[in-house]
Every structure is written in C-alpha cells, then in structure tokens.
Amino acid sequence: MLNSKKGNNRVRSLFYTLINTNVVIIALIIGAIAIIAIGGFRYYLIQNITAKDLLLHRNIKEDIEEMASAATDILKYVDRATKDAAQENVNEIIKSINQVNPSFKNIEILDHNGDVIATLPEYSTDLGFSRSGEEFFKAIDNGKKTYWGIPIVSSTTGDTTVTISIKASEHIIVGYLDLRAIQQVIQKSNAVGDVYLSVVLLDQFGRYISGPDMSLAEQRRVSKDFPIIRDQAGDLSTKSYSTTDQMQFLYTGRVEGPDWYIALYDDYGETLNVYRPVYYLIGVALFVVAVFAFLGSYSTSKKVENEIQQFIKYTASLSSGQYDSPIPNNRFREFNYLASNMNQMAQSILERDRSLHTLAYYDSLTGLYSRTALNQDFLLFLKEGNEAVSLVYIDLDDFKSINDSYGHSFGDKVLSSIAERILSLCNNESTAFRFGGDEFVILVNDSIDGKRALDFAKSAIDSTRTNISVQNREVYISLSAGICTLARGAIIDFEQMLQFADIALYSAKRSGKGVFTFYEPTMDIQQRRATDIKQSIRSAIVKGELYLCYQPQLHVHTSTDYRLRGFEALLRWNSSEFGLIPPAEFIPLAEETGVIFQIGLWVFQEACSFILELNRNFKSNYVMSINISPKQLVRADFVENVKRIVRETEVQCNWLELEITEGVLLENVEVAINHLSELRSIGISISMDDFGTGFSSLSYIHQLPINTLKIDRSFISKLESNTVSEKMVESISLLANNLGLTLIAEGIETSNQANKLLDLGCYVMQGFYFSKPIEGKEQVYQYIESQAHSI
C-alpha cells in the first residue's frame, strides 16, 4: 500500500519521505558545516604555519649567512693576528682564536706553494704537508679571494668538513668548518624547538652540510629533494613549496657567500595531526548534532505521521458514518486548523444528516412521522407488552377535489388539520405516520381483536364529520380506513401489514367511504379480482366484450298507461375471463384506471348511433340518456369529443340527455359547469342522476345547468313503507317543479310505486316494473313495436 504505483507517479510514504529528505538535508548541512569548519580551521592553521615558517626560514638563512661571514672574518682575523707574529707563536695564536670562535675544526696557513706552515697545535704533524692538490688551494691560487669548498673528509681529522679559504696578505688561510657548529647555528635559530620543523643545508650539488640527521652530511649524501630545492630557490628568493609526499611545506633559499641551499621542512601534516583532536571534537560535535537532528526529525516526522494517522482514522470513521467523535486538538497549529475544519465539516454533515433524517423521518407538513420512518424503523415503533399490532391505514376521501378546487396550499392546510386531529387521538399505544399524499398510517399496540384500532378508526372518522375550517372556509371531508391486526408473532414485515390494511381500505372505499373495514383474508380475493378486472378492462373495448343495454324511460299516465320517452343506455361487460361483471363493480375500477374515458366515449358513440337509428327508423324523437362519470365530464376534451361524436353520428342534440351524478361536484365544479353549459347550449339535456344521495349543496345544484332530476332508487324502494322517503320524494318533486326541471324516478318495481310517484307529481319513470334493461338492438326494436301496438 505504501509504495504502490498510481498512474505514472509513484505513491510514497509521507513518513519515510520526510525522514529521507530530512536525513539528506541534515547530512548536507552537517557535511557543509564540517567542510567549512574543518576546512576553514585547517586553512587558517596552514596560513599561520606558513607565515611562521617563512619568518623562521628567513631568520635561519640570515644566521647562516652571518655565520659564514663570521667564519670569513675569523680567517681574516687570523691573518691579521699572525701577520707579524713569530712563527713559533702562530699555531698558538690560531688556537686561541679558534677557541674564542670554535667554528673550525682546524685552521691552516699555507704558503704560496700550498704547504702547511701553521695549523692548530694538535695537528702540527701536518706542518709541511702539501695542500697543492686540494681544490681550495687551486681556487685561491687561481685568483679567488674566498673559496667555499664542497664537503670533503679532512685528511687531518677524518671528519667531513667544508673548507673556507681566503687569500691572505701573504698566505692562504684555510679553515675546516665544523659542521656541527653550523648545525648549532640552525638549532639556535629554531630555538622554539618545533619538532616538526627541520632545516637542511646543502652545497651547490645538493650534498648535505647540515641537517637533522648529520650522518647524511658525514656521508656526503645528496638530498633527493635537491632538484626541487634548487629549482625553487631562485635568486636568493624565498619561496614556499608544498609537497604531497608527507604533507610538508618546503621553503628554500640560497645562502649568500657559500652559495649553499637552505631548505626548511615543515611536516605540517604532523602539526595538523596535533589538532586532530579538534577535528575529532568538531566531528563528534557535528555527529552529536546530526544524531539529535535526526532524532528530532524522526520524532517530528513521527508526530506528523501520527497526526495524519489520526486524520486517516477520523476520515475512515467519517466515511463509515460516525460523526460524533471529533478530532482533538493537537500540537500543530496547521493540523488544528485542519482538524477544526474537519470537525466543522463532520458537524455539518452530522447536522445535515440529522436534518435529512428529520426531513426523511418526519413529514414537514404535518409533523407526523414519515413513510421513510415507517419503512426503516417499523419494528422500533412496535412496543413490547402487547399481543398484537394493528395497522390503521387512513385515506382521505376525494381529497383531490379539494386540491383542485381550492389549490394545494389549501389542501395542505386541510391535511395539517386532519393530521392534528389524528395526532390528538394518538397515545402511548399508537403512533401516527403520514404515509403520503392524503394517506396516514397509525400503528397501534393492540389486543388480538383489534379493539384499540377499531376505536381509533372510529374516532378518526368521527373527528372529520364536523367541517374543517381553513382560511375562513368550511370544508367537509371524510376519511376511510382499512385495519389490519396481526399477532406479534405473525408479523413478517411492514409491507405485509400495509398490504392487508390497504386491501381493507379499498374495501372500505368501495363500501361507501367514510367507513373503516378490518382486513379479512377474503378481501384478498376481492382485491385480486379488482386488480384482474383492471387489467382486463383495458382490452374489453377491443375484444368487443362491452355492450349497451337500454332501459326504457316512460311518460307515465297511470301504472298501466305509459308512453316511451326514450331509453337509458346502461353499460354491460361480458368478460370472456370473468363473465358478466356488474357495472357497479367495473365502472369504479375503470375510473381508477382511467379507462373510463375511452369507455365513456365508446358508450356515447354507441348510444348516439343507436338513438339516431331508432329515431330514423321509427321517425320519433326518443331521448337517449347516457351516464357520464364526473371524471369524464371535467376532462378538457370532453365537450369537444361530444361535439365530434354528435357531428360524426349526425345525431340530434335534443335526442341526447347526459346523466351526471352529484359526485361531479367533488371534481372541478367550475369546469363541470362550463362543460355542461356548453353542452346545454347546443341542445343536449343534462340530468342529475341519483339525486338526493350525494353531498351536494343546493347552491351548487342551482349553478349546474341541468334539465332533469332523477330520483335515486333508494328513495323509491322505500316509498311505500317509509314516510320520510315519501316526503323526500315529494320535496324533490316540488323542487323540480319549482325549478322547471323534469323529474324522473328510477327503480320502480311495483305499480304502487308508480301510482305513488304519480301522486307526488313524478310522471317520468323507469324500472323493472316497466321494463328491465333490454339487451340487443333487435329486442329494443321489438319493444318499441310492442309499445306502439299497445297504445
């Protein structure tokens, strides 16, 4: 994971990158410091050494030159001292002079032939010796005033010596220098006693005259550095030369007079080695610094890594949904900023989650729990201690019409009001949810008989029996409820309970709304049948399974004397799958699925075509009453479709009568009025069917452009036995008469009912007493012909 490759860039560990980078930087810095410190120290040390050496070299050279000059002076002094001395005293004079200035091993005075005529007394055996073969004699004899010889072994002393000879007034005086004396001069100059310094004196051929190792001079050895010394010496100049052999500085020069070479060696490598402890100290100090720096870097990098690891853990917990553990503050300000921002972000996420949760969990309109809460935490809402759980599924009846009539804002307030009432009915054993739209679900911890759910449903339905006042407007709305009660152990999941309650609700709706129904297993069958019918109804028109029955409507004089007014077209469906399905069953389903529009148009088309055919054939003006569903009426294209069909079928509008129910008032009333007015304007009659059974107010009835009122069969069926029904029919008859409306009664089954109605002023009737709905056009033709014969 740490060193994986990602694309073209190598992914590295931050910790090790920090360490490596810091180590490199530390190493570079330490190295630079070491180089500068040690190098600088070494440089200044060498500079100091060089300056000191040059000074010393100059001093020694001057001392040697002074010595050489002094040696010459001694010989000159010998000459002066012995010039007029008696021969027998000369040797002593030489001795005394040499004692004062013991630079010479021996001093000889030679005659012009080169014979020794005077010498130190101890070498008196050499008196008379011929020095004519010696180079110094030859040189002086050839005109030199002063001659410095090369190192030779003295035939007198056996020591290695260098001769200095001068041309004296009458003789040649030669001194045999004591090389140790020269060495002493050098040693005296180097009185500081720097053990790393050494001075060598070489003749003009590089032979040692003096040096730290006098054996080299005694052996008349040639210095291996002589070529360098000679080349670097120049003309009495002093130059420095650095060799790499032993880290030595070599300062060379020429000594005036003897024409010697003086070289000062400074084994500065050894000198520098003296300061090696300083280097070690610097090295140790830098090493310690490096170690501490590394440790510090490691520690800091580790701390940074730890902080980042904390962030990694924190972001991991964030990604897993844990927002409640903020990152604590740490020592790094930048991380604190980051932590603060991340904590704020987490808090925002948490709050947003909570908000979202609240939004998801609670319905913002009503404040009730939401459908989401119910889906997610269904089981959490179930409390322990009860043997069963009931789910009350409440649906507001015809709520859509309120939205359509008064707007959604009004509708929301209605919902809020309903929700308040529902919520007020809840207690510790019940929890209310807004399930969506106009649906509510209440979970009730119940007994196995569902008593609490029953009470709740009843209370809820009763609570809406009073009008709801919203925005100074009174609204009447009912609700239906389906209840499902299951033993706790039988509960599989929420969806199952809801499905059962939904079936029960559907049953309640079909039972008339404003009621509640407990789920029964048989409802499943009904629900399934209703679903199947909904599926089949779509293809009923294509399959030709739909057909119309025509129930005669008659002008009645007496129960036995009546004349055909026209027919009411009644839709029938002979399903190949289900057989004959009552209109009361499939019409609502058609309305639910929206197929009702297609069916309605087909019915209208068929009815128009048939009435046209009948009236043409019988040269009559029979009226065809056609039922129109409220949903169909308020469709935008309804009037246009009616006009189109009228045009296409060429039916006369006065032959048509559209039957509407009071339920139309639950749809968009204004649109209904407009459509009906337009249809009235072209001559189509409008009949209010099932008058008295709906919940319309008279003001709306007044606005509707109706021609006819049809008294619902429920009044007729009780006409004979129920005074109230009789009074109702009488009232309706009076109303119709006062409004100039035609009154039609339907559902007449007996002559008594017919007679009664006649007494009550209702003269148009239809019902089984006169004729049940006629199937088939041939049968209608036969009926009409039979009626014609009976007149």
- From residue 60, alpha-carbon distances to 187, 188, 235, 261, 757 in Å are 9, 9, 17, 12, 165
**3-class secondary structure, 567:** strand
Decide if 532 is catalytic. Answer: no
The answer to the question of residue 128 lying near other proteins (CB under 8 A) is yes
Q: Inter-axis angle of helices 276-319 and 333-361, to 10 degrees?
A: 10
Of the listed 126, 141, 363, 438, which one is catalytic? 438
Distance, in Å, from the CA atom of 676 to the CA atom of 684, rounded to the nearest integer, reads 9
Distance, in Å, from the CA atom of 630 to the CA atom of 398, rounded to the nearest integer, reads 12
Q: Which of 644, 642, 645 has the alpha carbon at shortest distance from 632?
A: 642
Q: Using CB under 8 A, which of 3, 4, 87, 364 touches other proteins?
A: 3
Q: Which stretch, 59-67, 219-227, 560-568, 753-761, contacts other proteins (CB under 8 A)?
A: 219-227
In whole angstroms, the minimum distance from the beta carbon of 51 to other proteins comes to 35
In whole angstroms, the minimum distance from the beta carbon of 3 to other proteins comes to 7
Burial of 705 (0-12, 13-18, 19+ CB in 10 A): middle
Q: Which stretch, 126-134, 167-175, 377-385, 771-779, contacts other proteins (CB under 8 A)?
A: 126-134
Distance, in Å, from the CA atom of 703 to the CA atom of 593, rounded to the nearest integer, reads 30
- Please tell me the count of residues contacting other proteins according to CB under 8 A: 35
Q: Which stretch, 110-118, 483-491, 546-554, 633-641, contacts other proteins (CB under 8 A)?
A: 110-118
Q: Using CB under 8 A, which of 63, 134, 141, 545 touches other proteins?
A: 134
Separation of CA 553 from chain center: 77
Separation of CA 500 from chain center: 45
The answer to the question of residue 219 lying near other proteins (CB under 8 A) is yes
- From residue 723, alpha-carbon distances to 3, 196, 735 in Å are 98, 152, 18
DSSP 109-145: EE-TTSBEEE--GGGGGGTT-B-TTSHHHHHHHTT-S
In whole angstroms, the minimum distance from the beta carbon of 324 to other proteins comes to 36
In whole angstroms, the minimum distance from the beta carbon of 155 to other proteins comes to 4
Q: Using CB under 8 A, which of 11, 13, 43, 683 touches other proteins?
A: 13
In whole angstroms, the minimum distance from the beta carbon of 44 to other proteins comes to 31
**3-class secondary structure, 562:** strand
Q: Using CB under 8 A, which of 48, 89, 132, 348 touches other proteins?
A: 132
Q: Which stretch, 65-73, 97-105, 129-137, 591-599, contacts other proteins (CB under 8 A)?
A: 129-137
In whole angstroms, the minimum distance from the beta carbon of 163 to other proteins comes to 11
Nearer to other proteins (CB atom), residue 105 or residue 371: 105
The answer to the question of residue 126 lying near other proteins (CB under 8 A) is yes
Helix, strand, coil content of the chain in percent (nearest 5): 50, 20, 25
Nearer to other proteins (CB atom), residue 87 or residue 364: 87
Q: Using CB under 8 A, which of 33, 81, 85, 222 touches other proteins?
A: 222
Q: Using CB under 8 A, which of 135, 194, 305, 585 touches other proteins?
A: 135
The answer to the question of residue 287 lying near other proteins (CB under 8 A) is no
Contacts of 193 (CB under 8 A, 6+ apart): none
The answer to the question of residue 467 lying near other proteins (CB under 8 A) is no
Two tokens, residue 299? 């520690």
In whole angstroms, the minimum distance from the beta carbon of 151 to other proteins comes to 10
Distance, in Å, from the CA atom of 262 to the CA atom of 58, rounded to the nearest integer, reads 10
DSSP 653-673: GGGEEEEEEGGGGGS-HHHHH
In whole angstroms, the minimum distance from the beta carbon of 434 to other proteins comes to 59
Q: Which of residues 528-587 bind other proteins (CB under 8 A)?
A: none
Q: Which stretch, 90-98, 120-128, 278-286, 428-436, contacts other proteins (CB under 8 A)?
A: 120-128
Q: Which stretch, 70-78, 128-136, 278-286, 658-666, contacts other proteins (CB under 8 A)?
A: 128-136
Q: Using CB under 8 A, which of 69, 130, 409, 424 touches other proteins?
A: 130
The answer to the question of residue 225 lying near other proteins (CB under 8 A) is no
Distance, in Å, from the CA atom of 694 to the CA atom of 331, rounded to the nearest integer, reads 78
In whole angstroms, the minimum distance from the beta carbon of 136 to other proteins comes to 9
The answer to the question of residue 142 lying near other proteins (CB under 8 A) is no
Q: Using CB under 8 A, which of 204, 405, 496, 620 touches other proteins?
A: 204
Q: Which of 656, 545, 561 has the alpha carbon at shortest distance from 608?
A: 656
- From residue 101, alpha-carbon distances to 78, 210, 351 in Å are 11, 19, 113
**3-class secondary structure, 428:** coil
In whole angstroms, the minimum distance from the beta carbon of 351 to other proteins comes to 42
Q: Using CB under 8 A, which of 92, 111, 194, 218 touches other proteins?
A: 218
In whole angstroms, the minimum distance from the beta carbon of 329 to other proteins comes to 31
Nearer to other proteins (CB atom), residue 245 or residue 334: 245
- From residue 508, alpha-carbon distances to 329, 500, 708 in Å are 62, 12, 31
Distance, in Å, from the CA atom of 179 to the CA atom of 160, rounded to the nearest integer, reads 8
Q: Using CB under 8 A, which of 221, 421, 451, 643 touches other proteins?
A: 221
Q: Using CB under 8 A, which of 21, 96, 125, 539 touches other proteins?
A: 125
CB atoms within 10 A of CB 661: 22
Show the site string, 143-182: x = touches other proteins by CB under 8 A, - = not. -------x-xx-x--xxx----------------------
Nearer to other proteins (CB atom), residue 132 or residue 714: 132
Q: Which stretch, 132-140, 261-269, 341-349, 526-534, contacts other proteins (CB under 8 A)?
A: 132-140
In whole angstroms, the minimum distance from the beta carbon of 8 to other proteins comes to 21
Nearer to other proteins (CB atom), residue 149 or residue 600: 149
Query: For residues 156 and 123, is the Cβ–Cβ distance under 8 A?
Result: yes
Looking at 582-722, list the stretches that DSSP marks H as alpha helix, in order from N- to C-terminal side. 583-593, 596-618, 630-633, 638-649, 669-681, 698-703, 713-717
Two tokens, residue 176? 């045999």
Q: Which of residues 314-333 bind other proteins (CB under 8 A)?
A: none
CB atoms within 10 A of CB 58: 16
Query: For residues 434 and 371, is the Cβ–Cβ distance under 8 A?
Result: yes
The residues binding other proteins (CB under 8 A) are: 2-3, 13, 16, 113-115, 125-135, 137, 150, 152-153, 155, 158-160, 204-205, 207, 215, 218-222
**Active site amino acids:** 438
